[in-house]
Amino acid sequence: MVNIVEKERKIVIPKRFVGRLDIFLTDKLGLSRTSVKNTIDSGTVTVNGKLPRKAGDRVKPGDIVILHVEVGGEEDVVVDEKIIPKIIAQTRNWAVVEKPAGMLTHPTQAGETGTLADWIREKYPETKRVGDEPKMRPGIVHRLDREASGLLVIARNQKMFSALKEQFSRREIEKEYFVLVYGQVPREHETIDFAIGRAGDGHMAARPKVDATTLHGAANLQEGKLALTEFDVVKMYARFSLLKVKIHTGRTHQIRVHMFAYNHPVVGDTIYFNRKLMKKIDAPLNRLFLHSAHLCFTDLSGEKCCFDSALPPELSEYLNTLKRYEKPLEGQR
């Protein structure tokens, strides 16, 4: 017999967020939008002590959201069974998979199910003993944000895990992403080196460096860890830029935080965004426009292994809506 108890989870809407309840909870809980809507519709969510009229009700900073969750049963978390990874290549030492948008790489403190980690344990049982925290992250050396998609490498044994971890530490892993951002980026090639740290609301934050050698600047030094993001502009549109991005460090939300601090936030981002850049005429995109498209690492034999991933259909279709607004790059004029 399973004992079912009700547990309350209190969440205060942070200062930066003004928007829909379902979008906020989708990002906060790491669930699909459908799962969040079902949760709200079931009457287990209140905002400031009242039941929301609909999943899309607007919330503002300071609002108190309480989730009444049944713990101990088989339906603690609703899992979208249609969201499954695709195996790109595999050997006895590693596997390269394509994570779909909407799937968490591994559980958070909320103990979500239906994550990539759950799928890995089922598909590659040997990974249950691989990694620094195999119970939470079996064979997982790096991650992608839940609403991002694309390539990840999984270690199938401890030797490969250690080798990949060392390559990441030495910044020898090659990772490239396709990212659509708001606005016309002024430079076709740029490197962003803003340090990244955790802000007071729990999210990550970055800002441009200041002059550490002056007395005036010393009081405003950017706290946080070194972060390097390099990009090239692939296409330019009237109000957007498509970038190919390389990250040389692996900070939490690095690309999203850097582009937000650079005043060109990522399209579809529900945390790091500038409402002034968003227009009602824009086609809806119910995910983050961030896709891990290229990945290279070295296997145990010393061979360099490289893989590419095309844009998912929903991202390609979104770009098609922008075609008539495409602008030539500087070098094409």
- Using the CB atoms, write b or e for 92-114: b if 16+ within 10 Å: ebbbbbbbbbbbbbbbeeeebeb
CB 320 within 8 A of CB 237: no
Active site residue 27: no
Q: How far apart (Å, rounded) are the C-alpha atoms in residues 318 and 266?
A: 14
Could you tell me which residues are beta bridge partners of residue 153?
A: 96
- Paired tokens of 251: 């900070």
Catalytic residue among 57, 145, 232, 308: 145
Mind telling me the catalytic residues?
A: 145
